[in-house]
Structure 1
Amino acid sequence: MKLKRFLLRYYPPGIILEYEKGGQLRTKSIDMLDLSPETNPDILVAEIRQSEPLITESRSEQVKHLILRLQQKQGQQDHNKFSLFKTLQAHILPLTNVAFDKSGSRFITGSYDRTCRVWDTASGKELQTLEGHRNVVYAVAFNNPYGDKIATGSFDKTCKLWSADTGQCFHTFRGHTAEVVCLAFNPQSTLVATGSMDTTAKLWDMETGEETATLTGHTAEVICLCFNTVGSQLVTGSFDHTVSVWDVALGRRAHTLMGHWGEITSVQFNWDCSLVVTGSMDKTCKLWEAASGKCEATLAGHTEEVLDVCFDLTGQLIATASADGTARVYGAATHKCLMKLEGHDGEISKICFSPQGSRVLTASIDKTARLWDIQSGVCLQVLEGHADEIFSCAFNYEGDTIITGSKDNTCQIWH
C-alpha cells in the first residue's frame, strides 16, 4: 500500500487518505468526530499513527498541519446573519422538495408541474429543466459528493436518473406499482434506493439501469429511507409503524425495529453508522443500535406528531421537529432534552443542523424559517418573505447559504 495524498474534510472533521493498493486507487477516512479547538494535535497524531499503518513517521508533521487547519476552521464561528438574496419563481405549480449538491453551488427543485429544475446558487439562474415524468416529481437528490447525477422519484411510479450537467436522462427505473415518494444514492454512487406507496423499496444499478433487489416486508407505504455513510446498510421507515434495516449487499432485512405505535415520518443513520434515529406520528423519537436493532432510548416530550428528525454531522446531537410548533435538541449519548426551541406559530415540518453543528434551521407552516442557537436555544433570526407554508429547507456545505421551498411556488436563496 502506498499513500498518494491527503484530502481534508471539514464537516464532520476528518482526513481522507488516497492510497494505491494492487494498482488501484482507493480511499479511506480518519474520522475525528470528537475534535475540538482544545484537542492536543500531537497526542492525536500519535493515536492516529498507532491505528493507521499508512501514516508513517515522515507523514506526522503533515497530519499535524491538517489537524491544525481543521481546528482553525472550528474556531471560526458561524455568526452569519442571512439576508434574502433572491426569490425564484421556480415552477408554475407548488414545489415538493429541494436539495443542494455537495458544494452548494447548485440546487434542485421538484414540483407538481412534473419537472425537476437545476439552479445555480450564486446567480439564481436556471441551468436545466428535467422533463419526462408524467406526474408530480416528489423526491429529488444529487449523488453527493460527486454531484454529476440527479435522481427524481415521481407519482408516475418511476424514478429517473439524469446527468446534472447536460440534463440527459440515462435511465428510467420501472417496477414500482405505486407512487415513488423517497429516494437516496448510496455513498459510492453505484446504487439508487427508492421507496414507494406500494410497500416496497427497491435498489437500482446506476450503470445498467437494472433493478438489483426488491426489499419486501413492510405492510404499508415506505415513506422515508437512508443509506449509512459506508453504504452497507439501508434503513426504511413505513406507515406500518415499523422501521427495517437492510443488508444492501444481500438485499435482505437484517432487523425490524418495532416499538413505535404510529406511522414513521423520518429515519436517519448517524455518521459512524452505529445508531439509527426514527421519528413517528406517535409523538416520540426513538434511538436504535444499528448492529443489533435494539431500542436504546425513547425521546419523549413533544405533544403532537414528530414530523422530522436528524443527527448533527458528528452524531452527538439529535434534533426533532413537531406538529406541536416546537423543535427539540437531544444529546445522542445522554438521551436528555438539552433545548426546546419555541417561537413558531404552527407545525414545523423540517429541521436540519448547520454543517458546523452550532445552529439549527426549522421550516414551518407559519410561512417562516427560523435559525436557532443550540447552546442557548435562542432564535437568532426569522427568515420571512414566503407567502405560504415552508416545507423544505437546507444549508449548503459551508453553512453560509440557505434555501427554502414553499407552497407559494417559490424558492428563496438566503446568503
Structure 2
Amino acid sequence: MAALVLPDGTPAAITAGSDRAAFVWNLSTGKRHAPLKGHTSWVNGVAAMVLPDGTPVAVTASSDRTAIVWNLATGKRRRAFRGHWSSVRAVAALVLPDGTAAAITAGDDRSAIVWSLSTGKRLHALEDHSKWVEAVATLVLPNGNPLAVTASDDGTAMVWNPATGKRLRTFSDHSSSVHAVAALVLPDGTPAAITAGSDRTAIVWNPSTGQRIHTMEGHTGSVNAVAALVLSDGTPVAVTAGDDRTAIVWNLTTGQPVWRLALPAEGRCVSATDAGFVIGCGREIAHFGWNSQMVREAAQARPYRHRPGPSAR
C-alpha cells in the first residue's frame, strides 16, 4: 500500500492484493478508480511518488517476479522491471542526487535492485541478506545523500547508499524476522529508521550511526507494517499495525504510544500522508484522518487511548 498527494491536491491511496491488480482510491471521497491490471500473480507491494516533471507514478511489485511502473494520471503502464528470479515482495521510490528518479525492488531472491524509472535500466543490486527481503524504505539526508534500508527474514535490517550500491551498516537488534521498515528525517535533522517484526516490537534507530533510539513495545503479536511522517505541527509520528488487530500511533521523539485503534482484522500494511493514514486489514481498507485531538495528543505524548476502528471503505 502507498499513499500520496496528487499534483492537483487530491489525497490518494494505492492498494494491491491477491487479485493481481492495484486500485487507486480518492481518500477524500472514498471513490475507487479503474484498476491497474498487468500482473499475472499476487501484487505484494506498491510505492508511489511524483516525478520531477510532475507526473504521479506508482510501482507495483508482484509474485510474478516483475515490477510495473504506472502513470497515475492516465492509469497506463509505462514499463516493467524484470531482474528478480523469485517473488518481488516490496518496492520503494526516491530521487537520486543526480536527479534520477529510481525504484528499489526487493524480494524472495534475497536481493534488492535499484532501477531507473525513466529508462528501466538496472543500476545496482543490493545482495547481502541471507533470507528473503520483506521490505524496503528510503530517505534523503539533510546533506542530500540518499539512504535505503532493507528489512529481512534473516532478522536484520541493512542500510545502503542506493546511488552507489554500497552497504553502509547492518542493524541486528531484532530477535526474529523483520517484516517492515519506514524512514524519515526528524525535525532536528536526525535520520531515523523504524523497523518492526515478529518479536512484537518496533525499533527506532539512526541509520547513519546504527544507534538505537527507542524500542516501542505495545503490540501483542507480530508487527507487520509501519509508516512514519512529520505532522503539520512538527511532531514526528509512526503508525504500526499487527496480528493483534490493532494499530498504534507513536510519538517518535519520546518513543511513547499515544493512540491505539482496534482493527476489524490483522493489520497487514499501512501508509501515511498529511491527510491521514490508511491501513490494510484482511480484505478491508481503513482510512483514518489526523483529527485535531489525535495530533494534539501525539504532540503531548500522553498515554495511548483505545479507539474502535472506523467502518472500512
**8 A contact 1:326–1:340 mirrored in 2:** no
User: Of the candidates 2, 6, 10, which is equivalent to residue 104 of structure 1?
Assistant: 10
1:360-399 equivalence runs, <5 A: 364=281, 369=286, 371=288, 373-374=293-294, 375=297, 377-378=304-305, 382-384=309-311
Rounded Cα–Cα distance in structure 2 between residues aligned with 1:169 and 1:177: 22
User: Of the candidates 238, 257, 269, which is equivalent to residue 318 of structure 1?
Assistant: 238
The letter of the residue matching 1:310 is A
- 1:134 matched to 2:45: no
The letter of the residue matching 1:296 is I
The letter of the residue matching 1:126 is H
Structure 2 gaps of 5+ residues are none
CA RMSD of aligned residues (A): 3.2
Rounded Cα–Cα distance in structure 1 between residues aligned with 2:243 and 2:30: 34
**8 A contact 1:256–1:293 mirrored in 2:** yes
Where relative contact order (Cα < 8 A, 6+ residues apart) is larger, the structure is 1
**8 A contact 2:88–2:105 mirrored in 1:** yes
Rounded Cα–Cα distance in structure 2 between residues aligned with 1:126 and 1:345: 24
- 1:185 matched to 2:93: yes
Higher helix share: 1
**8 A contact 1:305–1:323 mirrored in 2:** yes
- 1:173 matched to 2:93: no
The letter of the residue matching 2:46 is V
- 1:355 matched to 2:282: no
Q: CA deviation at 1:137?
A: 2.5
**8 A contact 1:267–1:276 mirrored in 2:** yes
The letter of the residue matching 2:94 is N
- 1:292 matched to 2:203: no
Q: Deviations over 1:260-295 (max 9, x none)?
A: 111111111123461111111011111211211122
**8 A contact 1:347–1:366 mirrored in 2:** no
Q: Deviations over 1:56-76 (max 9, x none)?
A: xxxxxxxxxxxxxxxxxxxxx
- Give SS of 2:73's match: coil
The letter of the residue matching 1:104 is T
Distance 1:271 1:315, change over 3 A: farther
Distance 1:352 1:149, change over 3 A: closer
| Residue matched to 1:203 | 114
The letter of the residue matching 2:33 is E
**8 A contact 1:98–1:110 mirrored in 2:** no
Q: Deviations over 1:171-209 (max 9, x none)?
A: 221110011111111046611110111110000012221
Q: CA deviation at 1:244?
A: 0.5
- 1:144 matched to 2:50: yes
Structure 1 gaps of 5+ residues are 1-96, 385-403, 405-411
1:6-25 equivalence runs, <5 A: none
Rounded Cα–Cα distance in structure 1 between residues aligned with 2:74 and 2:137: 27
Among the aligned pairs, what percent are the same residue?
A: 24
Q: CA deviation at 1:246?
A: 0.3
- 1:155 matched to 2:63: yes
**What is the TM-score normalised by the length of structure 2?**
0.77
**8 A contact 2:247–2:263 mirrored in 1:** no
